[in-house]
Amino acid sequence: MNISVPRRVTKATAVAALAALALAGLTGTTASANPAAAAAAPDIPLANVKQHLTDLQSIATANGGNRAHGRTGYKASIDFVKAKLDAAGYTTTVQQFTSGGSTGYNLIADWPGGDPNQVLMAGSHLDSVSSGPGINDNGSGSAAVLETALAVARSGYQPTKHLRFGWWGAEELGLVGSKYYVAQLPTAERAKLSGYLNFDMIGSPNPGYFVYDDDPTIETTFKNYFAGLGVPTEIETEGDGRSDHASFKNVGVPVGGLFTGASRVKSSAQVQKWGGTATAFDRCYHSSCDTTSNINDTALDRNSDAIAHAIWTLSAGTTTPPPGKVFENTADVSVPDNGAAVTSTVNVTGVTGNAPSNLAVGVDIVHTYRGDLVVDLVAPDGSVYSLSNRSGGSADNIVQTFTVNASSEVANGAWKLRVQDKASVDTGYISGFKLTFP
């Protein structure tokens, strides 16, 4: 029996709250399917990456057989990549610089969103040497980074970090484009780069699987991916600092990357490990035969998927556990003082099979004396689960998530929160009722 004097919550408050909810259009039941917590990277389609290589080959063929700095084939390559990114929703910037008396171009593509103070960057040089079309060096990295950027757009990925992609000019003249990019980047902007991932030659025809030995987190992310495939890796040693990651590393940005080998010869131990022959990893390195025939599809495929894995993993930030499928009724229901039971209903749909053994029942009851209240969960078939039976004495409101073993109940149907006030004087109302299916 309750003998306390009513406090704080009045019927007027309850009515006001109800009116506010009605105005806001928030009454009634809502259901929402929530996204998965840590999104896995999508598979990068090899066919798409190869199509980009075919297009880069066509550009070289139409422009005197190369895509070198200062030649028409280079600018055509920039225009080609830029058009794809613009169509996919990227914010692109072409940055001009001068080297050897010719204009060079970097292409920067920002994916809108993410934390501007934590930028994850991936890039590759887009120029070839003048002696050939540069399909492995470095159409391969350029095409794989492009397709990964397009996969970000296709999946609508919204990572915690901001994503930025770069295609560098005049790498073959001494990392000129990437050095220019970091030199013009204000110190404060450099500090926001949480990592730079470099991809230069990732489809060598006689491939090795090399991971740069730089930032440990980036390195481990790549190694884990290949370990998952059962593909052994080695640390890259064929000329550290010979690609654009060096420009970033020199200003203190954590770097990493992948490489399948250039002119160095594959050892017999490496042939044991990876197959192929004890010849150069890329016998067409920097020559006219670096065409679309100069690509190992398996290496290109694995490395493309590894790029996506690293970008998804390293940009995710902290992950939250999946919130499950939520059904909620936020309409207020007044509970008559010392009167009949009232209910709030949620209609569960689209859940297969039975309810879980850990059904989360969110109860929000505003009341001036919870010891008056008998609160039950009523399953669709009428089964009753007691949540609170006049417990809690003179404490007020019941705002609590109860865990109910409802595994013998079919999930779909009308679930009710039933509340009865069994003693006079104190009053209140059901403010919310929520079921969460894991």
CB count within 10 Å of CB 431 equals 22
Rule CB under 6 A: say whether 110 interacts with ligand TRP: no
Q: Are 173 and 130 in contact (CB under 8 A)?
A: no
Q: Which of 147, 171, 236, 328 is catalytic?
A: 171
Interface with ligand TRP in residues 168-207 (CB under 6 A): 171, 200-201
Nearer to Zn ion, 200 or 328 (CB): 200
Residues forming a β-bridge with 211: 235, 258
Six-digit token pair at 356? Answer: 């879980």
Q: Which two tokens stand for residue 270?
A: 């490496």
Residues binding ligand TRP: what is the number (CB under 6 A)?
Answer: 11
Answer yes or no: 219 catalytic. Answer: no
211 to 91, 205, 275, 295, 368: CA distances (angstroms): 30, 17, 18, 19, 65
The nearest distance, CB 129 to ligand TRP, in angstroms, is 8
Tell me which stretch binds Ca ion (CB under 5 A): 40-48, 113-121, 320-328, 331-339: 331-339
Give the dihedral of Cα atoms 178, 182, 184, 187; nearest 10 deg: 180
Q: Taking each helix axis as running N to C, give the angle between helix 46-62 and helix 297-315, from 0 to 180 degrees, rounded to the nearest 10.
A: 110
Q: Which does 409 bind (CB under 5 to 8 A by kind): ligand TRP, Zn ion, Ca ion, none?
A: none
Task: Return all residues near 226 (Cβ < 8 A) that are at least 6 apart.
Answer: 209, 211, 232, 233, 302, 306
Residue 196 · residue 121 · CB < 8 Å:
yes
Between residue 237 and residue 296, which ones bind ligand TRP under the rule CB under 6 A?
238-239, 242-243, 259, 262
Q: Provide the β-strand partners of residue 265.
A: 280
Q: Under the criterion CB under 6 A, does residue 372 sit at the interface with ligand TRP?
A: no
Question: How far, in Å, CA of 241 to CA of 245, rounded?
Answer: 7
The residue (of 57 and 420) whose beta carbon lies closer to ligand TRP is 57
Asked if 392 is part of the footprint of Ca ion (rule: CB under 5 A), the reply reads no
Residue 123 is inside which H or E element, if any? strand 115-125
From the list 39-47, 298-306, 308-316, 367-375, the region that binds Ca ion by CB under 5 A is 367-375
137 binds ligand TRP (CB under 6 A): yes
Pick what 239 binds: Ca ion, Zn ion, ligand TRP, none; C-beta below 5 to 8 Å, kind-dependent: ligand TRP
If contact means CB under 5 to 8 A according to the sort of partner, which of Ca ion, ligand TRP, Zn ion, none does residue 81 touch? Answer: none
282 binds Ca ion (CB under 5 A): no
Q: Report the alpha-carbon distance of residue 191 to residue 251 in Å, rounded.
A: 9
Q: Which residues contact 28 (CB under 8 A, 6 or more apart)?
A: 329, 330, 331
- Report if residue 337 touches Ca ion, rule: CB under 5 A: yes
Q: State the Cα–Cα distance between residues 372 and 238, nearest whole angstrom.
A: 78
CB of 158 to ligand TRP, least distance (A): 31
**Beta carbon nearer to ligand TRP, 195 or 432:** 195
Binding of Ca ion at residue 421 (CB under 5 A)? Answer: yes
- Comparison of 138 and 291: residue with beta carbon closer to Zn ion: 138
What would the two tokens of residue 364 be? Answer: 């929000």
- Give residues in contact with ligand TRP (CB under 6 A): 137, 171, 200-201, 236, 238-239, 242-243, 259, 262
- Give residues in contact with Ca ion (CB under 5 A): 337, 372, 421, 423, 426
Q: Which residues are catalytic?
A: 171
